Structure 1
Amino acid sequence: MLDSQDFEADDAAPIDMLEAYYAAHGWSFERHDDEIVATVKGSWTEYELRALWREDDQVLQFLAFPDIKVTDDRRASIYETIGLVNEQLWIGHFELWSSSGVLLYRHAAMIDGAEEGTMSLAAAELLVESAIDECERFYPVFQFVLWGGKSPKDALAAALIETQGEA
């Protein structure tokens, strides 16, 4: 967890805050006006994190791409898997882009900071870390369906087994 003392201001424009957050973590990123794209290595794969700020609506669209592409013959089972996975989520959702077969996690955050259109460090951290956590949590489910030949229900059950202790 980062400390707000690492930043000059408590709140900043959403893309500015995300840029500072990514930089503090040493993650590579590119920024273009109201959009920022970062690359983060997870335990399963590398994730592309993309944020787009819509100032008129005061909404930050946050996308995480877990480097999963679905072929046409596996789409039906992945759509079923997405439905089961999304039942487990409190915020955000997974979806499959029909045109490209790319699987992603999406969350839209309404930003209502102390000053209009600003975001706190805590809000940025929650947005980024929850997206990464959900991608990490459910990555095995999608892989079990795509590569392991498991049914969506069996894949979800297998991936969500909570282990206790250490080996």
Structure 2
Amino acid sequence: MSIKLVLLDQLTACHHDKSWFVPLDEMLRDVTATQALSLNDEGQSIWRLVNHLTFWNETWLDRFIKGEVVMDNSIDNDETFIINPSQVSEEDWQKSIAHVGATFSRWIQAVEESDDAKLGMTIPSYFNAPWWNVISNLCIHNAYHIGQIMMLRKKVRGEMI
């Protein structure tokens, strides 16, 4: 089995292929904007987590496509969770769901179109890590937050998944 197939398996498991855990697209299905905005005791919400995932998946996808990583130490991770208060309608929530889904689809396409040489290239500005390792860890990051979304969904919808 190739590294590419493993990465594609991880990306699809996070996005839409129900296997070891319920994927993000299923977690977000039938969640309303009001439910997505509901905060837990730690001040986290489904919508905030979706914004965070979108930010980091897009940031690393852009780096992967460009083939260069310029580390931006000015990024405040807390700001990646922020929701624009003027954009909290049901329509805006559906746009957020579509946006994160499209980002996963773009990642899947980018990996499908990559060869083993690109996936094995190291990133000097990022601990000399190979791209396959960064993508794999991005999937772990996604899975972690998808688990948080699952717990929040259970709470706001009063359901068992």
TM-score over 0.5 (shorter chain): no
TM-score by length of 2: 0.36
More strand by share: 1
Q: Which has the larger radius of gyration?
A: 1
TM-score by length of 1: 0.35
More helix by share: 2
